[in-house]
Chains A and B, each alone.
Chain A
Amino acid sequence: NAGVMQNPRHLVRRRGQEARLRCSPMKGHSHVYWYRQLPEEGLKFMVYLQKENIIDESGMPKERFSAEFPKEGPSILRIQQVVRGDSAAYFCASSARQTNEKLFFGSGTQLSVL
């Protein structure tokens, strides 16, 4: 499967716990983007990363959220001390190069906070 891979598909956390969402881009893609989809809403941009660099994090909440894309391994979206309002579908997308706006999305991680 050469598509964008996200895991886990479903993640349940209790309030105050940490959530770690993983994303492996399509083969040959070095640009990763995270979007969040709240119920009955469109997707909202969170962050854009290249290998070892955060390019644009203007859509990330200022606290508790962080993202990384290490030299080796998948991109990680980390949410500390989750609250119920963090419950959403988190989608990762990748592209081949910065000037390629055609984003390829993964199937998402559905985060549920109890």
Chain B
Amino acid sequence: GENVEQHPSTLSVQEGDSAVIKCTYSDSASNYFPWYKQELGKGPQLIIDIRSNVGEKKDQRIAVTLNKTAKHFSLHITETQPEDSAVYFCAASKNSGGSNYKLTFGKGTLLTVNP
């Protein structure tokens, strides 16, 4: 089955700096890659996603890049703010019966943005 590795497990940055989280996946059939943000005591919240037919996607301060050949994808957060502090999860899935519902998650990155 699919295996997703995520690095680093913890990341501490100063407010205003950029943060980068990287993930690799094993199944070349995976074609959907979402990123989730989980704040303490809450469920994961989808922040951005990318499909395998696209190499990069950007939404304000957040961007995701995908390298299908190398089977890795990354989350980039620019101009970080204290409210960006949370656990971030990457995930991968392949189409199953017309849907990508079966997500395989990485183990998460605890991002701390210091004021």
Contacts and interface: CB of A to CB of B under 8 A. Distances in A.
A99 to B, nearest CB: 5
Given A105-B45, A107-B41, A99 B99 contact: yes
Contacts, number: 70
B13 interface: no
A48 B102 contact: yes
Given A42-B4, A98-B97, A103 B46 contact: yes
A113 B89 CA distance: 26
A108 interface: yes
B98 interface: yes
A104 B6 CA distance: 22
Size bin of chain B's contact surface:
20 to 34
Most chain A C-beta atoms within 10 Å of own C-beta, residue among B6, B43, B45, B104: B43
Contact of B101 (A4, A40, A95): A95
A91 interface: yes
A20 interface: no
Given A42-B4, A42-B106, A101-B34, A106 B43 contact: yes
Interface of A: 4, 6, 31, 33, 35, 40-45, 48, 55-56, 58-59, 91, 93, 95, 98-108
Given A42-B108, A93-B43, 13 more contacts: A42-B4, A43-B105, A45-B104, A48-B101, A56-B96, A56-B102, A91-B43, A95-B101, A98-B101, A99-B98, A101-B32, A105-B36, A108-B43
